[in-house]
Amino acid sequence: MAQVFRPRSNTIALAIIVGGLLFLAALVYGTYAVWDSPYMTRVNIPQDQPVQFSHEHHVAGLGIDCRYCHTSVETESFAGMPPTETCMTCHSQVWVDAPMLAPVRQSLARQMPLQWNRVNDLPDFVYFDHAIHVQRGVACVTCHGRVDQMPLMWKATTQYMQWCLDCHRNPAPYLAPREQVFNLGWTSPSNQLQLGQQRMREANIDPDQITNCSACHH
């Protein structure tokens, strides 16, 4: 009987199988690498804006509190964006004719708000409430990073679902004292876990409730 396959066929078949598995592994790894890359997450990439506003200058340099511009962060789901009148409170007196502030002056003259580009933009199917997080001790720096060190604003964290769940499953390491929520220089003390657990009890934070799908997906 004639031999159908040559002796080297086994070697070829094995090479195809191994090569296919390696290609599949490389494809999966590559997909995750791209998914976690700044190209997809936009982490640490400055966002272009109609006016190149510097948080570093206004927060660290001038000492302006987050709540001066983001007025509803303690009471509403949306932190709020400052109207042009807020900007002109100062800039009607200082840097009055600065070319870079021309869009601000035009906005006031035309009574048309500036169209800022979102830096942290969650999908529409995700519900996020700033007030709930702030009132329970989640500091601004936890999600937004050292804004006071950003000459231009960029995204500090991926804000992927896994990133959120890491906190929701174990909130204690991330909870700041209420008076430190707006302190961008706040860092966790050595007894953070103990203090965080105490804050969880005081604020009635139950990980079983905040890891329920309906907590973020109404």
Question: Residue 34's pLDDT is what?
Answer: 78
Q: Global pTM? A: 0.83
**Per-residue pLDDT at 148:** 97
String of b and e for 13-23 (b: at least 16 CB within 10 Å)? eeeeeeeeeee
Token pair 């002056």 in the structure block, residue: 105
Q: What residue spans define the domains of the chain?
A: 9-36, 73-79+119-216
pLDDT along the chain (218 residues), means of 10: 65 84 87 79 93 96 96 95 94 94 96 94 94 96 96 95 96 95 94 95 95 93
pLDDT of residue 23: 87
The contacts of residue 186 (CB under 8 Å, 6+ apart) are: 139, 141, 176, 180
